[in-house]
Amino acid sequence: MKRSNWLLLLMVVLLAFSVIGCRGAGDRVEVRVLNYFSLATPGAQAEQERVWRTFERQNRDIRIIREDEFEEPFHHTVEAYAAAGQLPDVIYVWPSGRSTTLHTQRLLKDLAPLAQRDGLYNYFIPTALDPAGQGAGYLGMIPRGVTATNAFFVNMEVLDAVGLQPATTYSELVRQVPILRAAGYDTVLMANESTWVMQSCLFSLVAGRFMGEGWEQRVHAGQARFTDPAFVSALDFIRRMYSDGVLSRATIAIDYGSGPGLFATNRAAYYIDGDWRTGDFLTDHTTGQALITPERQRNFLITVFPEIDLPGVHFNRSNTVVLGTGFGMNANIPDGSAKEEAAWRLIKWLVGRETQTFNLENGLVPVPSRIDIDYNSIPLEPLQIAVGNLNSHYDISTVVIDAAFAGPVYTPLNDGLQAIGMGTQTPQQVAAATQAAFNAWRATQ
């Protein structure tokens, strides 16, 4: 063959490969993701590699465009996208509460047909895929775990230093206040600058103990009100915690990100947060550093808030438990489309066995939603074992308020709880404002 013919053939081959390559890149399905993520979170770098980059390497036909937001900016972004009708394809979702808009406006696709098709029901605990636990009444998201929103962390290093044992009742907590204060310690630490923290991590539990099981259903049915004496008593208990010195008013100025570090450096004898916060104390496998080393973790306990030994309490040994967060899909994605298949493949990966094992190992999810995880293969730290046993410390589960009521209802309550702490509103005023908000919300339904 002549040299000119060889050159012509080579050019044709190169052009063909170029066209094929361009067509392949153009055929990649683009999936936009809004993720709840912060690089400041322990294990964040490892999550980038083990979860997201691994998926991209294994799914070359999918292009992920991920937007990361955290805490309140995340929720503001969700609301803005929802209002504009421009939700991403895959969204980090709460089963209700903080994702009320997504559920009540039915902006999430029902994932039950896809889950049924691919046999997911064989690999998850039954409650995880029960649509009754989600705000829309259908399977709008696949949760990564089950969440206890009250974890009562006990620092035995502090208690041992002053000769105390963990308080089992509220009265014992009150008696410990002057002893701990004299030694330079706070009694109970909470990061209450963000108003949701008090409501979700403590007050919901208190409301359940005063109001009884199923109280939120009675409110929705018009059989109970936020102004009822029992609910006012629950609010007054929060006021009492501040006036008794169990909680310092200074905690209202502590931002949420600072709580774990303060507790790890022995600022207080006790710390209140959700079970998810355990992960902040664990070893970051990327850096090898931990807020509380595995050796020190043996000096910390995790239980639930002590018995409230006051009149009007229906029961103790309770906690507030909800489905954990997970991932949902934009309802506008057409059924059977390539976009739906790509988004569903990503969601299955994000709640899959490999990812949930990673989440458990790194403390990102204390109690996974899958039943096929090999716990014996994971080197768990003492606090991971402690939070895994948290359910043995309570007998009754009651509702988390921001999972049972819409944002317009719980927002004035959240703000009111902070106002009670600052002494600018009374429990009765907060109860009345919450009931008024509920009435206004109900009128729009």
pLDDT tens digits for range 12-43? 444 444 433 333 446 899 999 999 999 888 77
**Average per-residue pLDDT in the chain?**
92
Distance CA 85, CA 273 (A): 34
Looking from the CA of 129 toward its CB, the CA atoms found within 13 Å total: 18
Q: For position 388, what pLDDT does the model report? A: 87
Tokens of 1: 């063959």
Cα three-residue angle 192-194-196, rounded to 5 degrees? 95
pLDDT for 15:
42
The predicted model gives 328-347 an average pLDDT of 98
Strand partners, 184: none
Q: Over range 48-74, report the average pLDDT.
A: 96
For residue 73, give both structure tokens.
């900016």
Question: Using the 8-state DSSP alphabet, how is residue 52 labeled?
Answer: I
**148-179: per-residue pLDDT in tens?**
999 999 999 999 999 999 999 999 999 999 99
Q: What percent of the chain has pLDDT over 70?
A: 94
Other beta carbons less than 10 A from residue 256's beta carbon: 17
Residues 6+ apart with CB under 8 A from 269: 154, 155, 158, 159, 164, 176, 180, 185, 186, 187, 188
Tens digit of each residue's pLDDT (9 = 90 or more) over 205-262: 999 999 999 999 999 999 999 999 999 999 999 999 999 999 999 999 999 999 999 9
Pairwise CA distance, residues 220 & 208, whole Å: 15
C-alpha–C-alpha distance, residues 122 and 178, integer Å: 53
User: Is pLDDT of 8 > 90?
Assistant: no
Which structural domains are found in the chain, ordered by start?
Answer: 29-143+325-364 (3.40.190.10), 148-320+383-443 (3.40.190.10)
**Which tokens in the block code for residue 432?**
């009345």
Q: Measured between alpha carbons, how far is 138 from 51 in angstroms, rounded to an integer?
A: 27
Q: What is the DSSP letter of 32?
A: E
Give dist(CA 365, CA 358) in Å, integer: 9
Q: Are 233 and 210 in contact (CB under 8 A)?
A: yes
Q: Give the chain's length.
A: 445
Tokens of 172: 């014992």
Among 128, 63, 75, 67, residue whose Cα is nearest residue 100: 75
Report the pLDDT value the prediction gives residue 126, as an integer from 0 to 100. 86
Confidence class of residue 4 from pLDDT cuts 50, 70 and 90?
Answer: very low
Q: Is 90 helix (H, G, I), strand (E, B) or coil?
A: strand
pLDDT value at residue 26: 61
Structure tokens that stand for 443 in this block: 């009128």
**Model pLDDT for residues 393-435, shown as the tens digit of each residue:** 999 999 999 989 988 999 999 999 999 999 999 999 999 999 9
Q: State the first-to-last Cα distance of the chain, in angstroms, to the nearest integer.
A: 80
- H or E element: which one contains 321? strand 318-323
37: nearest Cα among 45, 29, 28, 25: 45
Residues 6+ apart with CB under 8 A from 384: 278, 282, 360, 363, 366
Q: Could you tell me which residues come within 8 angstroms of residue 342 by beta carbon, excluding any fewer than 6 positions away?
A: 29, 31, 59, 61, 62, 89
Per 3-state DSSP, the chain is made up of helix, strand and coil in percentages (nearest 5) of 50, 15, 30
- Phi and psi (nearest 5°) for 47? -65, -40
pLDDT value, residue 383? 96
pLDDT in tens, 98-133: 898 999 999 999 999 999 999 999 999 888 999 988
Tokens, residue 132: 């009754």
Question: Considering the chain, what percentage of its residues have pLDDT values greater than 90?
Answer: 82
More confident residue, 306 or 378: 306
Residue 69 has pLDDT above 50, yes or no: yes
The residues near 349 (Cβ < 8 Å, ≥ 6 apart) are 51, 55, 355
Tokens of 312: 């009007």
Backbone phi, then psi, for 305, in 5-degree steps? -55, 140
Extract the tokens encoding 262: 């303060």
What pLDDT is stored for residue 327 in this prediction?
98
Q: What are phi and psi of 310, to 5 degrees?
A: -130, 155
Distance CA 49, CA 72 (A): 25
Over residues 67-82, mean pLDDT:
95
